[in-house]
Amino acid sequence: RSWDSLVNKLHSQNIKSKKRVNILMVQHPLERLISVYNDLFLGGEPLYKYDTAWRNKTNSSQSWDTRWREYWLPALYSTKRIHLKGLDDSLTPKKAVNFLKISYGLYDMANSTASNESFTFEDFVEHVIKSQELGYQQDQWIPSSLSCKVCNTEYDYVLLLENSSVELPYLLQKMGFDID
């Protein structure tokens, strides 16, 4: 059942209770890293595989250039697969990318020659750790507690994404929704 059809069905039901319920859906941190790796870093496939067919299959709307600029080039830098004389290793990946674009003019050249590059899960984790050490983290893998202030809200329920097919129907029934 699709999420949209479930939401439409729930909106059509007239539930008597108007009590607000706060629900937090979380994902296991390792599952989240694996998910980001498979999505943004193509699960280890070469970057040239990120084509129209891949984007259609994965419902991704980002262009190759956006992925290159935001994720792949910073990862190549932080895992030391791109190293240039005079480039300070303490730069955040984002600052290094800006430095590469402005000072060396290598942004477009690297973009056009790096399509055979790929990232192992180890490369990805190394990039995440290096990014954190340098104070530069992507929203996709920053802990939820740091990005959305979950501690400022009292939640009635905390659901685990990996168990949502069981937990969500149970919770909706408990709240009075007919989900059959």
Q: Tell me: do 162 and 177 sit in the same domain.
A: yes
Does residue 148 fall inside a structural domain? Answer: no
Q: Tell me: do 69 and 139 sit in the same domain.
A: yes
Q: Tell me: do 51 and 92 sit in the same domain.
A: yes
N-to-C CA span, the chain: 11
**Range picked from 3-7, 67-71, 80-84, 134-138 for highest mean pLDDT:** 67-71
The helix, strand and coil proportions of the chain, stated in percent and rounded to the nearest 5, come to: 60, 5, 40
Helices (H) then strands (E): counts for the chain: 10, 2
Mean pLDDT of the chain: 80
Q: Tell me: do 171 and 100 sit in the same domain.
A: no
Does residue 117 fall inside a structural domain? Answer: yes
Structure tokens at 135: 């104070």
Q: What is the pLDDT of residues 94-116, one digit of tens each?
A: 676 676 666 555 555 555 667 88
How many domains does one find in the chain? Answer: 2
Q: Which domain holds residue 90?
A: 29-143
Q: What is the pTM of this model?
A: 0.74
Q: Tell me: do 125 and 159 sit in the same domain.
A: no
Closest CA to 84 of 96, 95, 98, 92: 96
